[in-house]
Amino acid sequence: MAILVGILIFLCVSISSIQANDVLVYKDPKQPVEAGVNDLLQRMTLPAKIGQMTQLDRENITGDIIKKYNIGSLLSGGGSVPRQNASAKDWVIMINEFQRGAMSTRLGIPLIYGIDAVHGHNNVYKATLFPHNVGLGVTRIGAATALECRATGIQYAFAPCIAVCRDPRWGRCYESYSEDHTIVQQMTELVPGLQGDIPPGQQQGYPYLGGN
């Protein structure tokens, strides 16, 4: 009996020691990307992986739902707002609630919030609005849109739209910069405005996510 008790105590101490010394590699920005990804994937359950691959509209979602189902991303589609004429502060309060739910999960993976900021931060009351892509010409609006998105707590702008419209009967032809694909290619310069220039030494094969 004494031997059995001794073995149980040893196991409890060993497990506690492992948990105390458990290094969360995926939360250490100094670690290589692959090391962080592998560490995180090994810790994730199947429901957590499914939840992280899910993006839902914010309507009827709460922080508790995000926590329960490990939801990885929310979005505001056209007209999906906290309330009518919501201020930037209203947006921040709403998104912070969602983020608290995400950060209170076992793994504490931050939520990615997306919005249709395709011609300015156009879902937000009193934000700066720009023409649709068809009327933008060479205007660079990326930096202005990025600034206003981040001011409301949003990291992910569903922009730019790089469609090449050849038939005006298409209902979203206005989201195309031009029917000339070379002009559309040039207008992808909007991307550095949205997220910043790719820094020197950025590892090839990995997407760059800039911003603060």
One DSSP character per residue, 67-103 reads: HHHT--EEEE-TT--SSTT--HHHHHHHHHHHHHHHH
Distance of alpha carbon 77 from alpha carbon 166, whole angstroms: 26
Assess whether pLDDT exceeds 50 at residue 11. no
| Among 11-25, 56-70, 103-117, the least confident range | 11-25
Per-residue pLDDT averaged across 137-144, rounded?
69
Assess whether pLDDT exceeds 60 at residue 72. yes
- Bigger pLDDT: 54 vs 129: 54
Assess whether pLDDT exceeds 80 at residue 172. yes
Distance of alpha carbon 202 from alpha carbon 199, whole angstroms: 6
For residue 109, tell me if it sits in a domain.
Answer: yes
Instruction: Report residue 2's pLDDT band, with 50, 70 and 90 as the boundaries.
Output: low
Amino acid at 180: D
The CATH number of residue 127's host domain is 3.20.20.300
For residue 204, tell me if it sits in a domain.
Answer: no
pLDDT at position 133 is 78
Of residues 156, 152, 134, 132, the one with CA closest to residue 211: 156
pLDDT at position 105 is 96
Q: Are 187 and 193 in contact (CB under 8 A)?
A: no
- In this predicted model, what pLDDT tens digit does every residue of 112-129 receive, in sequence order? 999 988 888 988 999 988
Domain count, the chain: 1
Instruction: Report residue 137's pLDDT band, with 50, 70 and 90 as the boundaries.
Output: low
- Burial class for 149, CB neighbours closer than 10 Å (0-12, 13-18, 19+): buried
pLDDT at position 83 is 92
Assess whether pLDDT exceeds 50 at residue 8. no
Instruction: Report residue 63's pLDDT band, with 50, 70 and 90 as the boundaries.
Output: very high
Per-residue pLDDT averaged across 7-35, rounded?
67
For residue 90, tell me if it sits in a domain.
Answer: yes
> What mean pLDDT value characterizes the chain?
85
For residue 14, tell me if it sits in a domain.
Answer: no
- Bigger pLDDT: 30 vs 202: 30
For residue 86, tell me if it sits in a domain.
Answer: yes
For residue 73, tell me if it sits in a domain.
Answer: yes
For residue 26, tell me if it sits in a domain.
Answer: no
The whole domain housing 121 covers 52-195
Helices (H), the chain: 2-20, 33-43, 46-52, 63-69, 88-103, 142-151, 181-186, 190-195
Distance of alpha carbon 157 from alpha carbon 20, whole angstroms: 39
